[in-house]
């Protein structure tokens, strides 16, 4: 695998080696020893999967405090724009975001450490999105920042009227009202 450090420290794009032939393809999607050597020690405890249609925007989500989650995300069908927003107050990139297109074709993965809000927008007719987390889901610790917060300024490549949001995501707080990490 090729590990590419993004412009925000701790956030990685991971490109697997894909072996194609007439039967299809084979790839290793995760190899703990290699991951730890390149990214660091993360103990994943749960795998999640979602299916969404074009224009669905999920996020910007995070869990507060001790319930924060690191995520290793990828798309197994379709195409999404995936975004990580730095909520670490002590970071020189606090409040900045990094985005990457993940698709069934490029097979890229995106590692987002603890201390980040995360979201994605479906760009294809349908997308199946899967991810590993290093901490369980705790509803009381969940928080959401508005996807269109002007302070963050994410450039979502779909018209606002085409977006499909959950009520929770439509009512996210502003970046300035969010809970940050030390």
Indicate if 62 belongs to the active site. Answer: no
Q: Of the residues 62, 97, 118, 131, which is catalytic?
A: 131
Rounded to whole angstroms, the Cα distance separating 83 from 173 reads 17
Q: Please list, in sequence order, all residues whose beta carbon lies within 8 angstroms of the beta carbon of residue 139, skipping any fewer than 6 positions away.
A: none
* Torsion 7-8-10-14 (CA) sign: negative
Q: Say what the pLDDT of residue 179 is.
A: 87
Q: Say what the pLDDT of residue 181 is.
A: 87
Residue with tokens 């985005």: 99
Band of residue 182 on the pLDDT scale cut at 50, 70, 90: confident
pTM above 0.85, yes or no: yes
Indicate if 43 belongs to the active site. Answer: no
Q: Say what the pLDDT of residue 18 is.
A: 95
Q: Of the residues 61, 97, 118, 147, which is catalytic?
A: 61
C-alpha separations of 28 from 16, 45, 79, 124 in Å: 7, 19, 20, 24
Burial class (CB in 10 A: 0-12, 13-18, 19+), 153: exposed
Domain 43-177 has CATH 3.30.70.270: no
Q: What tens digit of pLDDT does each residue of 54-88 get?
A: 999 999 999 999 999 999 999 999 999 999 999 99
Rounded to whole angstroms, the Cα distance separating 83 from 80 reads 10
The domain limits of the chain are: 43-177
Q: Say what the pLDDT of residue 178 is.
A: 93
pLDDT above 80 for 14: yes
pLDDT above 80 for 120: yes
């Amino acid at each position: 695998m090729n590990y590419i450090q993004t412009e925000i420290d701790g956030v990685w794009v991971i490109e697997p080696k894909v072996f194609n032939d007439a039967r299809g393809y084979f790839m290793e999607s995760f190899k703990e020893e290699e991951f730890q050597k390149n990214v660091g020690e993360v103990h994943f405890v749960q795998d999640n999967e979602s299916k969404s249609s074009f224009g669905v925007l999920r996020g910007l989500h995070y869990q507060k405090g001790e319930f924060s989650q690191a995520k290793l995300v990828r798309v197994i069908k379709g195409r999404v724009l995936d975004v990580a927003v730095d909520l670490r107050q002590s970071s020189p990139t606090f409040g900045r975001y990094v985005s990457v297109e993940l698709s069934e074709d490029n097979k890229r993965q995106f590692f987002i450490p603890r201390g980040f809000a995360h979201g994605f927008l479906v760009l294809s007719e349908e997308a199946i999105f899967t991810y590993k987390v290093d901490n369980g889901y705790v509803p009381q610790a969940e928080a959401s920042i508005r996807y269109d917060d002007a302070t963050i300024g994410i450039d979502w490549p779909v018209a606002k009227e085409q977006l499909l949001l959950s009520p929770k995501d439509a009512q996210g707080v502003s970046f300035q009202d969010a809970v940050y990490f030390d």
